Amino acid sequence: MENKTKEFKHLEKWQKTLANCIRCGYCYEHCPMFKYTGWESDAPRAKIITAFGLLSGEVEPSESVSQKMFSCFYCKRCEAACSSGVALTDIFTDAKKDLVEMDLKGPGTTSTTKLTCARCLICLKACPHEARSYDGKNIVVDPVKCQACGICIEVCPAGAATIQNSFGTDRNMLMDRASNFFSTHEAAKAIIFACNWSYYPDLQASVLPDAETRDKNYEILVNMCGGRLEPQLLMAPFLYNAWGVMAAVCPEDKCDHKGNVRAKKTIESLKNTFKSIDIDPERVRLVEIKAGDKAKFKAEIDTFMDNLNKMGPIR
Amino acid sequence: MKTIDEEKLRQIVGDANIKTDPSDLYIYGSDSSVHHAMPWAVVRPKTTEQVQAVMRYANENLIPVIARGGGSGMCGQTVPVRGGIILDMKGMNKILEINLKDVYCRVEPGVVDDDLNLALKPHGMFFPPTPASSRIATIGGEIANNASGVRSVKYGATRDAVLGMKVVLPNGDLVNLGARTRVEASGYQLHKLMVGSEGTLGIVVEATLSFVPIPEFRCMGIANFNTLKDAGEAIGSIMASGAIPSMLELVDDVAIKAVNKTMNLGLKEVAAALIFEADGMVREAVDYEINKMKAICQKHNGEDIYASYDPKERDKIFLGRKSLFPALSKYDDNLASTALADDMAVPYSKMAEMAGKIHEIADKYGIVMTAYGHCGSGCMHTKILMDTKRKDQWESARKAITEVYDYVRSVNGTTSAEHGIGLSKAESFKIEKADSLHLLALIKKAVDPNNILNPGKLSQAPEDWVTATNLRYSVNS
Ligand SMILES: Cc1cc2nc3c(=O)[nH]c(=O)nc-3n(C[C@H](O)[C@H](O)[C@H](O)COP(=O)(O)OP(=O)(O)OC[C@H]3O[C@@H](n4cnc5c(N)ncnc54)[C@H](O)[C@@H]3O)c2cc1C
Ligand code: SF4
Ligand code: SF4
Ligand code: SF4
């Protein structure tokens, strides 16, 4: 087939890389999109194949193409897993630039602002990627700059900052899952929130038999970025008599969204609240996990659970 | 393109489990091979009944159906050469039972290999066939390809771990094949026939698999060789000595140089290295195996021989082998690492000659080829590095591959040890199996008279793989 690259001036430079991707699919192992929908077309390899198709002319730029390209949390799990060193998210960003120029701005995971926006401009300040601006009338989101960290959603006092498709990571969905875990597991004691970077030792896409999970006493919920941990979410498990809540974030300078700094502050203030009402502040705990350090994550969970077992239930 | 009754399919699997947008179809038209073709719809069944209903519909309307697991097949097994419905089996992803008393597990076909092993680990057990792609390969795909991996030299391939299965036939009927017991004497072993059938005979909807205990001790060693011949003879001697390696891997100089060049690993650039491993429940028994292999390597002029039980040291030893894929992809910006002629098997005594032949042929045609692989099972891997934009390189690859396979067959080797035949390897497969091809055709006709299951593959695949489908690469005219 003939090359047809003229309309893709940003994507064009990846031509060779797209050929060098061996299409092994290793990148979709723990992609939160793929894990949530189970469709291969939502996995990172699919975006790479699509990018190739756009360049070769086999794929027509369309709404559904941009929907795919713009759906990414930039957690970079795919890059860490790639067998061939492909810079996936840089490729996605360039594809997004070209699609935007064709007026194909996919909503994807990007936050948009609804009519309810109070124009307080808090989200502008909170956005770590300068993706939000104010044009004098409305908040404008730059879909290329936005990395779907979701911080704006959590800070918006009017609930006006939203995400089109959260792939199971928004506050309400996580709260539902926490509630569901406690109502279906007698031994349930804790919820562990983990940003997708902290490499949770979890199944990829398979489901275990009941007999294997019945005695589980904690559940790991992926909240994408530590920056999205708000008191309401962290407190939700206590509604169901949780013994404790742990959150895993990236180490000091490693978070692309500075979400770990926010998380630290949030957890500190929760600890203070616990102290003031005579509840052991160690029931909420923040740990820093280097990307890919499964062993440390597991060890931290074990220590936390041991501690909780010593403390016993709150009630 | 034939029209499909989308509404009918929606009724069977529900709106949430069907995709027909061209942007989705394009993605499901490729796997890890060089091929690409467009399907007509992607359907994701969640139950056996849904698979049966889809098959009945497809059979009545003569629509091709291609089962798809992780889509990690390397020879175009899931690429829909004649269009049709892709059955995305990843929707059936439950581990149904782990039975420790009777030592088997039952799983749905979409369960990922690594996930099954994660579930077995707390019980001290593992499912051993494990291909290198275990992080995405599904049990259904492993069965259909008879996948195997680095430890198959001791533990066997998927075929050896399959006790039984439930299969939906092309007409929608459900059959139970095999048993739940370790042995089963007579009758055609139909469940084993399904293994390696590449989705051409039936859709596996449930599999009963055996598993084995995780060994207490693992010891890994390495030996360098200054000639391929020495390394090859060491392999033959190890396997003939009665030693039981749990892994025996070869890497050649091209591979070592690639890893050094791109990853700066500083490995000694010798003609070949052998990586060997033994495992077991008793340390003395493992020592015995390792010492035996070390001595044999020494006898065949192996150098820098060294072995360790320490997991960190083992990782270090294996790093060169493990880094091979990325190293080959990054070897040269202008060369892509293609999945072609990548997994033949030859008798042990021919391993060294095979590796030498690969180098000779690569030189002749101006392409880069490495030789590495699970030599303990006779499996030799290679990758062809070439400038995929250049039409003449495809011509060279075509000729090189034909020569490689001519050699493989001339020494009584086989076309594919583990990755399967699909489209890319049909030419050699057909020559190799010439005297039994009519039996394959008879079996296929008996089970699938309308030829709707993965048509155009294996013995039905076109001889010329380059033109069998669109290539997944942009080739300048
Ligand atoms: C980087 C890489 C490394 C690899 N390493 C190895 C290796 O070490 N050893 C090895 O053996 N292979 C290896 N492979 C090849 C491949 O991953 C395996 O053969 C694997 O078993 C394919 O599984 P899958 O789920 O991806 O199958 P797919 O590619 O989706 O399908 C493969 C075949 O199985 C059929 N199929 C899938 N599910 C079913 C079902 N439920 N019922 C009937 N038919 C079905 C399909 O129709 C197709 O013909 C590797 C591949 C890659 C990309
Ligand atoms: S960066 Fe994360 S969300 Fe985006 S494609 Fe990669 S794994 Fe998926
Ligand atoms: S892991 Fe890397 S090489 Fe493999 S399919 Fe994904 S991007 Fe391509
Ligand atoms: S805060 Fe995050 S989600 Fe919101 S606009 Fe900025 S980058 Fe996007």
In terms of pLDDT, which residue wins out, B321 or A1? B321
* B368: closest CA of chain A, how far (Å): 15
* Ligand 4 site residues, Cβ closer than 6 angstroms: A 111, 126-127, 129, 131-132, 141, 146-152
Domain boundary among A52, A78, A101: A101
* Residue of B23, B28, B86, B92 to mutate, testing the A interface (most A Cβ within 10 Å of its Cβ): B23
Interface contact flag, B325 A68, Cβ < 8 Å: no
Number of domains present in the structure of chain A: 3
Q: Do residues A159 and A193 both lie within one domain?
A: no
Going by alpha carbons, the residue nearest to atom 2 of ligand 4 is A149
Task: Report the alpha-carbon distance of residue A158 to residue A154 in Å, rounded.
Answer: 10
Q: Is A25 in the pocket of ligand 3 (CB under 6 A)?
A: yes
B51-81 residue pLDDT tens: 999 999 999 999 999 999 999 999 999 999 9
The arrangement of secondary structure in B94-213, i.e. its CATH architecture, is: 2-Layer Sandwich (3.30)
Give the domain CATH number at A11: 1.10.1060.10
**Tell me, what's the pLDDT at A2?**
43
Interface contact flag, A49 B26, Cβ < 8 Å: yes
Residue of chain A nearest B106, judged by CA positions: A209
Of chain B residues 128-157, which have a CB less than 8 A from chain A?
A: 133, 135-136
Q: Do residues A115 and A237 both lie within one domain?
A: no
Q: Is B314 helix (H, G, I), strand (E, B) or coil?
A: helix
**Cα dist. A93→A13, A72, A80, B34, B97 in Å?**
12, 10, 17, 26, 43
Residue A250 sits at φ, ψ, to 5 deg, of: -75, 155
**Tell me, what's the pLDDT at B10?**
98
| Residue whose pair of structure tokens reads 């044009």 in the numeric block | A135
Q: Do residues A12 and A135 both lie within one domain?
A: no
What type of residue sits at position A45?
R
Q: Do residues A189 and A292 both lie within one domain?
A: yes
* B337: closest CA of chain A, how far (Å): 7
**Cα dist. B301→A35, A49, B234, B297 in Å?**
50, 47, 9, 7
Cα–ligand 2 centroid distance for B58 (angstroms): 35
Average pLDDT on B93-107 reads 97
Q: Do residues A135 and A73 both lie within one domain?
A: no
Of chain A residues 198-227, which have a CB less than 8 A from chain B?
A: 201, 203-209, 211-212
Task: Report the alpha-carbon distance of residue A274 to residue A314 in Å, rounded.
Answer: 11
ipTM of the prediction greater than 0.90, yes or no: yes
**Tell me, what's the pLDDT at A111?**
77
**Cα dist. B70→A38, B73, B93, B332 in Å?**
11, 8, 11, 28
Q: Do residues A86 and A218 both lie within one domain?
A: no
Q: Do residues A80 and A132 both lie within one domain?
A: no
Q: Please tell me the CATH code under which domain B217-323 is placed.
A: 3.30.70.2190
**Tell me, what's the pLDDT at A5?**
42
Cα–ligand 4 centroid distance for A142 (angstroms): 9
Q: How far is CA B203 from the centre of its chain?
A: 18
Average pLDDT on B14-29 reads 97
The DSSP-derived string for B388-445 is TT-HHHHHHHHHHHHHHHHHHHHTT-BS-SSS--TTTTHHHHHHHTGGGHHHHHHHHH
Domain boundary among A101, A122, A155: A101
Q: Beta strands of B328-370 (E only): which ranges?
A: 336-338, 343-345, 368-369
Q: Do residues A214 and A89 both lie within one domain?
A: no
Average pLDDT on B80-107 reads 97
**Tell me, what's the pLDDT at A201?**
66
Task: Report the alpha-carbon distance of residue A140 to residue B141 in Å, rounded.
Answer: 46
Residue B398 sits at φ, ψ, to 5 deg, of: -60, -45
- A281 assigned to some structural domain: yes
What type of residue sits at position B193?
L
Domain that holds residue A119: 111-163
In terms of pLDDT, which residue wins out, B182 or B15? B15
Structure tokens at B430: 């057909």
Q: Is A26 in the pocket of ligand 3 (CB under 6 A)?
A: yes
Q: Which atom of ligand 3 is nearest to the CA of A28?
A: 6
Domain boundary among A144, A163, A182: A163
Mean pLDDT of chain B: 94
Residue of chain A nearest B134, judged by CA positions: A26
Task: Report the alpha-carbon distance of residue B111 to residue B52 in Å, rounded.
Answer: 19
B116-152 residue pLDDT tens: 999 999 999 999 998 999 999 999 999 999 999 999 9
Mean pLDDT, 10 residues at a time, chain A of 315 residues: 63 94 90 92 97 96 93 90 92 96 82 86 94 92 91 90 86 94 96 81 84 91 88 94 95 86 94 94 94 88 96 91
First-to-last C-alpha distance (Å) of chain B: 27
**pLDDT band of B1, cuts 50, 70, 90:** low
* Ligand 2 site residues, Cβ closer than 6 angstroms: A 31-33, 44, 72-78, 88-89
Percent of chain B with pLDDT over 90: 86
Task: Report the alpha-carbon distance of residue B112 to residue B116 in Å, rounded.
Answer: 6
Give the domain CATH number at A142: 3.30.70.20
Q: Which atom of ligand 1 is nearest to the CA of B138?
A: 25
Residue of chain B nearest A14, judged by CA positions: B333
Q: Helix A44-56 and helix A88-101: axis angle, to 10°? A: 50
Domain boundaries, chain B: 94-213, 217-323
Q: Which atom of ligand 1 is nearest to the CA of B146?
A: 11
- A66 assigned to some structural domain: yes
Residue A11 sits at φ, ψ, to 5 deg, of: -70, -30
Across the A/B interface, how many CB contacts are shorter than 8 Å?
A: 146
DSSP β-ladder status, B125-126 and B212-213: antiparallel
**Tell me, what's the pLDDT at A1?**
43
Q: Do residues A117 and A190 both lie within one domain?
A: no
Query: In the beta sheet, which residues pair with residue B435?
Result: none
Cα–ligand 1 centroid distance for A214 (angstroms): 32
**Cα dist. A72→A35, B88, B399 in Å?**
13, 23, 42
**pLDDT band of B326, cuts 50, 70, 90:** confident
DSSP β-ladder status, B65-68 and B85-88: parallel
Mutational test site, ligand 4, from A96, A110, A155, A261, max ligand atoms within 8 Å of CB = A110
Q: Do residues A271 and A175 both lie within one domain?
A: yes
Exposure pattern of B117-147 as b/e (b: 16+ CB <10 Å)?
bbbbeeeebbbbbbbbbbbbbbbbbbbbbbb
Q: Do residues A90 and A140 both lie within one domain?
A: no
Q: Which of B426, B286, B301, B314 is nearest to B352 (CA)?
A: B301
Q: Is A287 in the pocket of ligand 3 (CB under 6 A)?
A: no
Average pLDDT on B431-451 reads 97
Going by alpha carbons, the residue nearest to atom 1 of ligand 4 is A127
Interface contact flag, A39 B71, Cβ < 8 Å: no
* B269: closest CA of chain A, how far (Å): 22
Task: Report the alpha-carbon distance of residue B472 to residue A208 in Å, rounded.
Answer: 36
Compare CB distances from B115 to A50, A68, A206 and report the shortest one's residue: A206
Structure tokens at B295: 């001595």
Q: Do residues A253 and A299 both lie within one domain?
A: yes
Task: Report the alpha-carbon distance of residue B379 to residue B297 in Å, rounded.
Answer: 19
Q: Is A205 helix (H, G, I), strand (E, B) or coil?
A: coil
pTM for the model: 0.95
Average pLDDT on B10-15 reads 98
- Ligand with smallest separation from the Cα of A74: 2
Q: With beta carbons less than 8 A apart as the criterion, state whether A188 and A179 touch.
A: no
Cα–ligand 4 centroid distance for A113 (angstroms): 11
Cβ contacts of residue A14 below 8 Å, gap of 6+?
A51, A55, A90, A91, A94
**Tell me, what's the pLDDT at A252?**
83
pLDDT greater than 90 at residue B181:
no
Q: Which of B267, B272, B265, B222 is nearest to B247 (CA)?
A: B222
- A106 assigned to some structural domain: no
Cα–ligand 2 centroid distance for A89 (angstroms): 7
Interface contact flag, A39 B98, Cβ < 8 Å: no
